[in-house]
Amino acid sequence: MMGQVLNTDTRPTSLDYRQQQRYIPMMSDDTHTSLPFMKMHGLGNDFVILDARETSFRMTAQLAKAMGHRHFGVGFDQLAIISASDQADAHLTFYNSDGSQPKACGNATRCVARYLMDTQDKRQLTLMSDSSVLHAEDLGDRITAVNMGQPQLTWSEIPLVREMDTLCLPIEGGPTATGMGNPHCTFFVDDIAAVELETLGPRIEHHPIFPERTNVQAVQLLGPDHLRLRVWERGAGVTLASGSSSCAAAVAAVRRGLTGRKVRVDLDGGALQIDWRADGVWMMGPTQHVFDGVLTADFLDNLI
């Protein structure tokens, strides 16, 4: 599989829903056929997206992990599966590159929202995840906004292992815990360049305070409406960007009295605008559809 897929047969290589909506095959123990996908990213936070609204396939942690490998698979931070929903325009299921399943992924939600709005000629839609129903809007100039809902601020909602002050956890550095459909731990630092995220990230991700592990952010305050952020994602490692992490960092900054509710968040891959409004935390930024591809029958068969 390469970025530009060359097919010598007549099978389609695009995930354009209007043209290929019946193509994704059923995968079973004794039937392995090619599986189309698309690759998208939000500020370098990259995703493989499978559209399963017209037919079904059997996704497993093993397959997700194999697809997520950057040398032996396609490579992604998260996998997003689009399926039909009676309560929203679509339902989203997520996998991390290690095969684990988060309940939310902000940038992947923005990418899917952009894809659906483009293919269905809509300016607004709703997407259901395992944690909530999210509203998305096309703001023009290829900017997509998603309302990630209200943050979870109590220890049991995030969740933490026991009752404690979520604003300042009993961990060196006094980080703040926030839930955005998934758990987050935010460290405010004076010099973000001095933070060894590759060491801090896995240590805090698996800290016993977090029974479901956690995403980790290092944040430097640049101004009353401006944050610099680096991200360690649970189940993925260091990523160039993260939507839910940006929301969590902004919420933590507001709770600490460092910023107002509307901030720019500069990540390694670019900038997001975060606005904590009465109806939830809105995240706004660009997305990019990079390429369409096909997982071959040979790749799928070799997973057994």
Question: What string of DSSP letters covers 167-207?
Answer: TS-SSTT--EEEESSSEEEEEE-S-GGG--HHHHHHHHHT-
Helix (H) or strand (E) holding 39: strand 35-42
Task: Please give the Cα distance from 201 to 107 (Å, whole number).
Answer: 20
* Rounded Cα gap, residues 215 and 236, in angstroms: 9
CA–CA separation, 58 and 25 (whole Å)? 10
| Beta bridge pairs of residue 49 | 38, 80
Instruction: Give 8's strand partners.
Output: none
Mean pLDDT, range 264-269, rounded to an integer: 98
Give the pLDDT confidence of 14-54 residue by residue, as tens digits. 344 333 333 333 343 444 578 899 999 999 999 999 999 87
- The predicted pLDDT at position 34 comes to 81
Structure confidence at residue 132 as a pLDDT band (50, 70, 90):
confident
Spell 262-280 as b/e; 16+ CB within 10 A means b.
ebbbbbbbbbbbbbbeeeb
Cα 71 from chain centre: 21
Contact indicator for 62, 299 with CB cutoff of 8 Å: no
Q: Find all residues with CB under 8 Å of 222, minimum gap 6, and list them.
A: 228, 266
What is each CA distance from 287 to 41, 107, 108, 128, 243, in whole angstroms? 6, 8, 9, 19, 11
Q: DSSP characters for 213-245?
A: --EEEEEEEEETTEEEEEEEETTTEEES--HHH
- The pLDDT tens digits of the residues spanning 57-116 come to 889 999 999 999 999 999 999 999 999 999 999 999 999 999 999 999 999 999 999 999
Binned at pLDDT 50, 70 and 90, residue 304 comes out as low
Find, among 205, 217, 214, 287, the residue nearest to 250 by Cα. 217
Task: Please state, for a pLDDT cut of 90, what percent of the chain lies above it.
Answer: 83
> Six-digit token pair at 43?
């500020």
- Under a CB-based contact definition with an 8 Å cutoff, are residues 25 and 38 in contact? no
In the prediction, which pLDDT does 154 show?
Answer: 98
Could you give the CA distance from residue 282 to residue 272 in angstroms, rounded to a whole number?
Answer: 10
Q: How far apart are CA 122 and CA 7, in angstroms?
A: 32
User: Mean pLDDT over residues 172-194, rounded?
Assistant: 97
Average pLDDT, integer, range 9-13: 34
Alpha helices (H) along the chain: 17-20, 61-68, 106-120, 197-205, 243-255, 297-301
Chain mean pLDDT for the chain: 89
